[in-house]
Structure 1
């Protein structure tokens, strides 16, 4: 449909009057987030102005506080629900793992410290992506689907993932899972606030970076009743640093030089001491 120049100018004037009178301003403010509520991060993504910040996010795990199987199940289920992790059943070879349990000898393979309490060696430990300071998975990803944020979190862009699984081969912790089949039919209750994945995509724990960007702590931390503590490793006043300054902790495979950001308490006292 053609429009004459004179009619176009009239239409422009009407819009200007509408703006001046506030008639269309409401429409514009509804389609554009208020500046006070959001900001643009270094990647150009709009995030909440309430976002939590850190120079390097880290987690402390106090395995002694996972006293029952229910303690761990509560944490795992919170993660599963928040991140649309499929449930293929306990015996399926297609399991997708973001956080799971391993015995001492698998969690800390090669650690032979005669001074560690024997009780520690009999415990199971929650394991996840270590969000390494020097992540080999980031270096080998050909599409930058795996990336490291300025705050130390190793994240994933599922749309960029081509399923080459180089990152899985590079990760020394087995922290990544591959979707050999379409996971969506196996999600019990889809969380609309987090993307579902497709067949042929790798995934892993992301330290709940989408929640941090909204001013919220990771769901596993909230569900752990103090067994998981999260904070800024570079801030001497953070809860993480206070615990590490007063308790003996170890990391997984430190000899590899990846610099894991997940610490495990193996001495007495616990995280709340």
Structure 2
């Protein structure tokens, strides 16, 4: 599908339309008209708890120096359209730039083994970010995906402080370009949503897992934690896995092998 971008100076509360299946046409300077695309209508049936979507990260297959998952996530959600404000120092921009997946390098103190670990929102069954949100903007869908409602997010950043994985980003600057399927706005918090827009359109994949597979690494497996015959459960059954900060009892939807 062709990725369309839009330029706007409107604040986040003037977002129009749904994030999936929209096209945009400029009708006058400063005005954006959104219409539903006939070929990609948004889902009308409610999300249920029949599925619980999750991800397996096999660190033994994660290649050192590879950024395929990060790059794919950026393209899928329009994060590659970000640009530093004029005059911003490089370090400041690197610290403030929105990132939904980051690569972390870990070393075992005893063996000296080094592993590469993609880290994103862990989609907890008991998400701390949801517990502390004063407006309900941070919420968990019935299928286990943790998301942010940009219309009700007030930018307090309590969720960022509560997240033990540092998996959320805050948008500090006005967003000049964004994808119609992934609206973004200054003053909002955002994070990985397991490509919910794909799932809602019937595509059972995530951009990161798809890109990793295309590179031949197969380090990321996406699927349904409730489906014993599905690819995720089959992969989980083949090797020992663990949750990051399992001691917190959050029952994360993202599991790791090789650490």
TM over 0.5: yes
Structure whose CA Rg is larger: 1
Equivalenced residue count is 211
Contact 1:136/1:167 (<8 A) preserved? yes
Cα 1:90–1:31 change in 2 (3 A) is: closer
Q: What is residue 61 of structure 1 aligned with on the other side? A: 57
1:38 deviation in Å? 6.3
Task: Work out which of the residue numbers 71, 78, 86 in structure 2 matches 1:77.
Answer: 71
Gaps of 5+ in 2: 1-34
- CA distance change for structure 1 residues 54 and 84 in 2, over 3 Å: closer, same or farther? farther
Identify the residue that residue 9 of structure 2 maps to in structure 1: none
Instruction: Tell me how far 1:194 sits from its aligned partner.
Output: 2.0
Distance 1:97 1:39 in 2: 27
Residues 11-47 of structure 1, C-alpha deviations (whole Å, 9 max, x = no match): xxxxxxxxxxxxxxxxxxx98979xx7652337xxxx
The answer to whether the Cα contact below 8 Å between 2:172 and 2:186 also exists between their aligned partners in 1 is yes
Q: Provide runs of 4+ in structure 1 moved above 3 Å.
A: 30-34, 87-90
Deviations 1:80-133 (A, max 9, x none): 11112125496323121100111226xxxxx98x6xxx47x4112100000001
Residue 99 (structure 2) aligned to one of 97, 108, 112: 97
| SS in structure 2 of the partner of residue 104 of structure 1 | strand
Distance 1:239 1:31, change over 3 A: closer
- The unaligned stretches of length 5 or more in structure 1 are 1-29, 44-51, 106-110, 268-273
Cα RMSD of the aligned pairs, angstroms, is 2.8
Task: Work out the CA distance in 2 between the residues paired with 1:130 and 1:79.
Answer: 15
The 1-side partners of 2:219 and 2:116 are apart by 13
- 5 Å-filtered alignment, 1:49-198, equals 55-69=51-65, 71=66, 73-85=67-79, 86-88=82-84, 91=91, 92=93, 93-104=95-106, 118=111, 121-182=113-174, 184-185=175-176, 190-195=178-183, 197-198=184-185
User: TM-score normalised to the size of structure 1?
Assistant: 0.69
1:222 and 1:100 map into 2 onto residues whose CA distance is 17
TM-score (norm 2): 0.73
